[in-house]
Amino acid sequence: MSAAAAAGHALHVLRGNRVSALAAILGLVLVLAAVIGPLLTRYDPVTSDVAHALQPPSAAHWAGTDQLGRDVLARVVAAGRLDYAIAAAAVFLSFIVGAVIGGACGFRGGAVDRWVGRVVDVLMAFPLFVLAMAMVAALGNRVENIVYATAIINLPFYIRFARAEVAVRRQAGWVEAASASGNGPGRIVLRFLLPNVLPAMAVQISLNLGWAILNAAGLSFIGLGVRPPTPEWGIMVAEGARFITVGHWWLVAFPGLALMLSVLCFNLLGDGLRDMLDPRMRT
Amino acid sequence: MRKLAGIARLAGQRLLSSLPALLGVVVFTFVLMRVLPGDPAVFFASGPSAGQQEIQDLRHQMGLDRSIPVQLAFYLRDIGTGSFGRSMTTGQPVLKDLRERLPASLELTFTALFIALGLAIPMGVAAALNPGTAIDHAVRFLCTLGVCVPTFVSGLLLIYVFYYLAGIAPDPTGRIDVFTAPPPSLTGFLVIDSLLAGDAEAAAAALRQLVLPAATMALFVLAPLARMTRASMLAVLGSDFIRTGRAMGLSRSRIIVVYALRNAALPVLTIAGIVFSTMLGANVLVEKVFSWPGVAAYALDALLASDYAPVQGFVLLMASIFVLVNLLVDVLYGLADPRVAAA
Amino acid sequence: MSGPSANELLRVEDLHVSFATRHGLVRALRGVDLTIAPGETLGIVGESGSGKSVTALAALRLLDRAGRITGGRILWRGEDIAGASQRRLRGLRGAEIAMIFQNPRAALNPIRPVGLQIADALRSHRKLSPAEARAAALEALRQVRIREPERRLLSYPHELSGGMCQRVMIAMAMACEPALLIADEPTTGLDVTTQKAVMDLLAQLTRAHGMAQILITHDLALAAQYCQRVMVMEQGKVVETAPPAKLFSAPGHPYTRRLVAASPTATSTLPGSRATILGPPLLEVSKLSKRFADGTLAVDDVSFSIAAGESLGLVGESGSGKTTISRLVCRLMDADAGDIRLDGAAIGAIPAREFHRAPQRRLVQIVFQDAGDSLNPRFTAFDAIADPLRRLGGARGTRLAEEVEACAARAGLGADLLSRYPHQLSGGQKARVGIARALVVRPKLLVLDEPTAALDVSVQAVILELLDRLRAEEGLAYLFVSHDLNVVRMLCARLIVLQTGRIVEQGDSQALFRAPQTPYTAELVASIPQLVTAG
């Protein structure tokens, strides 16, 4: 029994690593496809070719063509650039701002911290997609506003996360010890707390990238931000939606698959990172 | 009594800390109305045919020629009295439009939430009771996959499979097919209203329309709920007091239901509140996919038509619902966990 | 071994238990034998990892998923339960064998009134109506002498003190009148006076009901005081079983001998301990007060002084303010009122936030309670020791490396250990890193905040010896904070007893032990379990 349990456990650890490795490879392929993919296809993602409209997947068009005869695969690949760029920019922005605000609150504590904590808790429970929608509407229907809106609705999560991570460690004995060793508050934050918090932040970033992609695509799906004919997964799904009831599945399925794989990949990478950074995993 | 007082105090605290966020939303919608192109006075005027003089009078009447703080005060008064302005697209007062469409959104959201909870809790519990087994792996796989599929993709694929391929789902448009007479409106929930009216056929028709959008939404929130149930159940099962229960010879069912599940339900309750908010947001996407005549689709149509009064009304409505849901979660939590009221 | 005899309640034969861990199979028990007769009290003592708790959990078949019984028999009144069905075990647990645990608050369901929890235990073995179960639960609470038992029926664990929670656990365990009660470290984490009350109650109740008891503890003195036979375990094996008088006066096994020697007693002294010559006053604390944000007055008008080279003990139970005083003196926290003077300088006037720049930062250093928690997980042992030297000593390059290595050597750390991270070090090694880090800047005053509380007795003995030697060699003054009177007395000639933030008594430690002047100190001294009782 015990031998079987040990073997099962070993397999479990191995499987965990295998999944992360797979996710890493998948991530690499997706990003590469987004970066150099457009150079590899012979179709232009925006030029229409009405003669070949709405063709199902074939040898010539692996993912079929849309209502204007554009190659779906070329558009999916080209859209990756935009979607990844939006997500990365949004997450970068909210990470920087959130880490600074959250870290400062967590380290300082006190009334301001309690107040920020409460407001963040409340904001997290708010229908944030609605907020993003209204924000894009108010700021103007442009791509950069999608980035800002996505960054702002991500912000509460980062603030809360950084705050909790820092606050937990601030109580740790080694922070007190650092103070006794003659380290000032600034040094303690930079040299002691930050290196300990960063790995957990990396996990959070990876998980949030997936979420940011979903948000950006969702906003474009309802017609905000990116405008046609720019290739973007959300818009492609929205355009394909008109044809789903007549059975042209490929218009929705391929951009949908690209979205799904991207989010899956970032989530798995995040989970894998977390497992790797778990102190119990170390020898 | 002491417990109830504690819960009341807690709910009051939560209401108080919701105020900044709520105020933020109100100011936000105010800015939305002022910054956006279009003169609010025109919205309130009788129509495009209104004369220059009429608009001038309206401007004065609405206080648009006053300073910004005064305008904000007027705005707050308007919101307090429920006048959200008039929609240019429907030509009706926004409040009336919202009131007509809200039951559709709530019917969809609640159905989806019940489906999701009904599936997620047993799944999470089963996975936690059998960690490392095939059941556990299957649940975890589903959870990982579930959060990756956007609602607008899964909804469309469900339509493709069940409407186009299998032909068992009705035309994915609206709450009830055009050939069935809707029941007299009592609750606004078509399925319930039909049943109340004794019209089984209408109830079935409404239910058929409801299944796909509700399933789409439920699929989306299934993952976080099941994941949290599993994690919190696992944590509770590993805790000392479960070992105490076993050491005292309590039956397995009593340990799982009374000792483990009740404790594990607390974090799930918190997540359910957040999930509900997410669903309010996801409504926008699902209602668009299924042409569901809810408040979100209404606001979205207005937004794309640069008709901002409905958008403002919608955002405020969502904010109020969210405050109510949070209060409810807090009260339930306070009832379930004696430590909260004491803190 | 022969078959079970009539007067045996529980017999464990050649029990083997293994745990599946990330690093493969760990053999926790390697052939444990034990017997216990009705009404007998058996102590199982051992250090962490000896398998004492695993033995108890395995006997009740309560091991978690990772643990497996890989061999041996567990006979309950002659019936082998090592392979018994869950159904049979359920009938046994609570009804015939009950168990109470360490950390009683966590062992109770936090969201269920304790009365109902006791009733749950009762109703799983007897057919009782809710009203009858409530009456029985009330009677059980009366038995463990909880004040206002009617009101307590409705209390939740968070509304009770640690001692009261353990009484509730005892009430629950006793409710079905089992023949055997297993108590797994029942008083660890409780204050010494509470410990005595709980242990006395357990002894009295088991005697009154003729129950057998197995007491599992790391505290030899506690086992000696309350048990008829004591079994010593080491690394999954039983090394010796004997009555306490014999075991502790003439231990047979070398491990038992080491363990007995390491356990501090009322008379034990540190080997090679030297008298110290006291210098002029080094630390002067006067009228110190500190109130926390929640309103509790943690430190209330405390004054004392320490001479250069002196070692002063600060003793008190939880909530006495001893840890707060250590933080105040170390200038990691600001006082509300009072003076702290070090070497004549009013360091109390420098805010804690600024103190890292003060020249006196080097002079007062601290060794923390939990060595593991006080080491930055991303620093190697070398970095941990070098950090204060870089900040406060201004040392760089080879001189830094030399000083760190020399200091580590003085604290008993080999140079080969310096490249390791905290999780690669043992508890004793981490304690040494903590000591070296405090010593490396050559302070005059060292605040020791329960530096050995998290360590096994054998490691504790070595660390105490090291601390005593370092003080003599380096001419250090110590402020030694501890809840353990036996330990403090070994290291300190003078003691201060604290209760709820105030000094209740101070003076020469020997005199204070022999003839306490206040009732509180007398109670404290009387509550310490003493190893040399049977003579």
User: Quick one: tokens of B60?
Assistant: 């004065």
ipTM of the complex: 0.84
What is the distance between the alpha carbons of residues C468 and C267, in angstroms, rounded to a whole number? 17
Gap from C102 CA to chain B (nearest CA, Å): 9
Distance, CA of C463 to CA of A75 (rounded, Å): 70
- Provide the β-strand partners of residue C71: C16
In this predicted structure, what is the pLDDT of residue C529?
85
The tokens for B85 are: 């302005």
Q: Distance (Å, rounded) from C-alpha C417 to C-alpha C429? A: 9
**Distance between CA atoms of C277 and C255, rounded to whole angstroms?**
37
- pLDDT tens digits, one per residue of B149-168: 899 999 999 999 998 888 88
pLDDT of residue C533: 41
Distance between CA atoms of residues C316 and C491, nearest Å: 16
Q: In a 3-state reduction of DSSP, which class is residue B177? A: coil
Side-chain half-sphere of B58: how many Cα atoms within 13 Å?
A: 16
- CA C136 and chain centroid, separation: 34
Residue B198 clears pLDDT 70, i.e. is over it: yes
On the question of pLDDT at B20 being above 80, the answer is: no
DSSP one-letter code for C77: T
Q: So what's the pLDDT on residue B44?
A: 56
State how far the Cα of B175 lies from the Cα of B177, in Å rounded to an integer.
Answer: 7
Which class for A110: exposed (0-12), middle (13-18), buried (19 or more C-beta within 10 A)?
A: exposed
Which residues, in sequence order, are bridge partners of residue C497? C315, C505
B9 touches C: beta carbon within 8 Å: no
Chain A interface includes B280 (CB < 8 A): yes
Q: Which of C16, C17, C22 to mutate to test the interface with A (most CBs of A within 10 A)?
A: C22
Sheet holding C337-342, edge to edge: C297-307, C281-291, C337-342, C345-346
pLDDT in tens, chain A (283 residues): 345 544 554 455 445 567 777 888 888 888 888 888 777 777 788 777 778 877 888 878 777 888 887 888 888 888 888 889 999 999 999 988 988 888 888 888 778 888 888 778 767 767 788 888 888 877 777 888 889 988 988 888 888 888 888 888 887 889 989 999 989 888 888 888 888 887 788 888 888 888 899 988 999 898 887 887 888 899 899 888 888 888 888 888 899 999 999 999 888 888 777 766 654 444 3
Q: What is the pLDDT of residue C535?
A: 36
How many other CB atoms are there within 10 angstroms of residue C470's CB atom?
20
A180·C22 Cβ contact <8 A: no
* pLDDT value, residue A10: 46
- What is the C-alpha separation between C428 and B168, in angstroms, rounded? 71
Mean pLDDT along residues B193-207 = 85
- CA-nearest residue to C386 within chain A is A181
What pairs with residue C502 in β-bridges?
C499
B277/A137 Cβ within 8 A: no
* Beta carbons of A222 and B148 less than 8 Å apart: no
| Set of chain A residues whose Cβ sits within 8 Å of the Cβ of B278 | 127-129
Q: Which two tokens stand for residue C119?
A: 């009733």
Question: What mean pLDDT do residues C128-156 have?
Answer: 93
Cα–Cα distance measured from residue A283 to residue C420, given in angstroms and rounded to the nearest whole number: 12
How many Å lie between the alpha carbon of A222 and the closest alpha carbon of chain B?
A: 7
Annotate C350-416 with DSSP letters as a single string: S-TTTGGGSGGGGTEEEE-S-TTTTS-TTS-HHHHHHHHIIIII---HHHHHHHHHHHHHHTT--GG
Close Cβ partners of B320 (under 8 Å, ≥ 6 residues apart): none
- Beta carbons within 8 Å of C116's beta carbon, 6+ residues apart: C137
| C156/B339 touch (CB, cutoff 8 Å), yes or no | yes
Mean pLDDT on C465-494: 89
Residues contacting residue A95 through CB under 8 Å, at least 6 positions apart = A158, A201, A205, A208
B320 touches chain A (CB under 8 A): no
Task: Let me know: does C77 contact C35? Beta carbons within 8 Å.
Answer: no
d(CA C68, CA C64): 8
Largest CA distance in chain C: 78
**Using an 8 Å Cβ cutoff, are A64 and A253 in contact?**
no
pLDDT digits (tens, 9 = 90+) for C421-448: 888 888 889 999 999 999 999 999 999 9
Total structural domains in chain A?
Answer: 1
Class of residue A190 by CB neighbours under 10 A (exposed 0-12, middle 13-18, buried 19+): exposed
Q: Is the pLDDT of residue C172 over 60?
A: yes
- Average pLDDT (C362-368) is 93
Following CA atoms B112, B264, B142, B110 in sequence, which dihedral angle do they give, to the nearest 10 degrees?
0
Q: Taking every pair of C-alpha atoms in chain B, what is the biggest distance, in angstroms? A: 85
What is the separation of C-alpha A85 from the centre of its chain, rounded to a whole number of angstroms?
A: 10
Q: Whole-angstrom Cα distance, residue B307 to residue B299?
A: 9
Cβ <8 Å between C391 and A195: no
Query: Which chains sit next to A, with 3 or more Cβ pairs under 8 A?
Result: B, C
pLDDT value of residue B46? 52
Please report the number of interchain residue pairs, chain A to chain C, with beta-carbon separation below 8 angstroms: 85
Domains and CATH numbers, chain C: 98-177 (no CATH), 281-363+443-527 (3.40.50.300), 380-437 (no CATH)
Question: So what's the pLDDT on residue A169?
Answer: 83
Average pLDDT in chain C: 90
As a whole number of angstroms, the distance between CA B245 and CA B260 comes to: 10
Tell me the chain C residues in contact with residue B249 when contact means C-beta distances shorter than 8 Å: 89-95, 121, 124-125
pTM: 0.84
CB-side neighbour CA atoms (13 Å) of C360: 23
Residue A62 CB coordination number (10 Å): 15
Q: Tokens 């204050």, residue?
A: C191
The partner residue sitting opposite A184, judged by closest CB among C20, C70, C356, is C356
Does A119 sit within 8 Å of B21, measured CB to CB? Answer: yes
* Cross-chain Cβ contact A260/B153 below 8 Å: yes
Question: What pLDDT score was predicted for residue C2?
Answer: 45
To the nearest whole Å, the CA of C194 is away from the closest chain B CA by: 21
Confidence band for C154, pLDDT divided at 50, 70 and 90: very high
β-pair partners for C494: C312, C508
Comparison of pLDDT for C278 and C164, the residue scoring more: C164
CATH number for the domain including A96? 1.10.3720.10
Instruction: Tell whether B248 lies on the interface with C, counting CB pairs under 8 A.
Output: yes
Tens of pLDDT, residue by residue over B108-122, are 999 999 999 999 999
* Percent of the residues in chain B that have a pLDDT greater than 70, as a whole number: 90
**Using CA atoms, how far apart are residues B187 and C475, in angstroms rounded to an integer?**
84
Q: How far is B275 from chain C (nearest CA, A)?
A: 24
- Which pair of tokens denotes residue C55? 């033995």
pLDDT at B277 over 90: no
Chain A residues touching residue B281 (CB < 8 angstroms): 127-130
Helices (H), C43-104: 52-59, 86-92
DSSP state of C422: G
Q: What angle do CA C284, C290, C294 make, to 5 degrees?
A: 165
- Name the least confident of C1-5, C314-318, C357-361, C401-405: C1-5
Q: What is the DSSP string of B196-252?
A: HTT-HHHHHHHHHHHHHHHHHHHHHHHHHHHHHHHHHHHHHHTSHHHHHHHHTT--H
Block residue for tokens 């070992």:
B243
> Is B339–C110 a contact, with Cβ atoms under 8 angstroms apart?
yes
Distances (CA, A) of B2 to B6, B14, B334: 6, 18, 12
Which residues does chain A have within 8 Å of residue B282's beta carbon, measured at their own beta carbons? 129
The residue that leads in pLDDT, C378 or A139, is C378
Instruction: Give the three-state DSSP class for C301.
Output: strand
Q: Does A267 touch chain C (CB under 8 A)?
A: no
* C40 pLDDT higher than 80: yes
Supply the DSSP string of A235-277, one letter for each residue. HHHHHHHTTGGGT-THHHHHHHHHHHHHHHHHHHHHHHHHHHH
Q: Cβ of C274 under 8 Å from any chain A Cβ?
A: no
Please tell me which chains touch B, using 3 or more CB pairs under 8 Å as the contact test. Answer: A, C
pLDDT of the residue at B211: 92
For residue A203, the enclosing domain spans: 3-281
- The DSSP output letter for B162 is I
> CB–CB of A2 and C25 under 8 A?
yes
Q: Most B CBs within 10 Å: which of A126, A252, A264, as the mutation test of the B interface?
A: A126
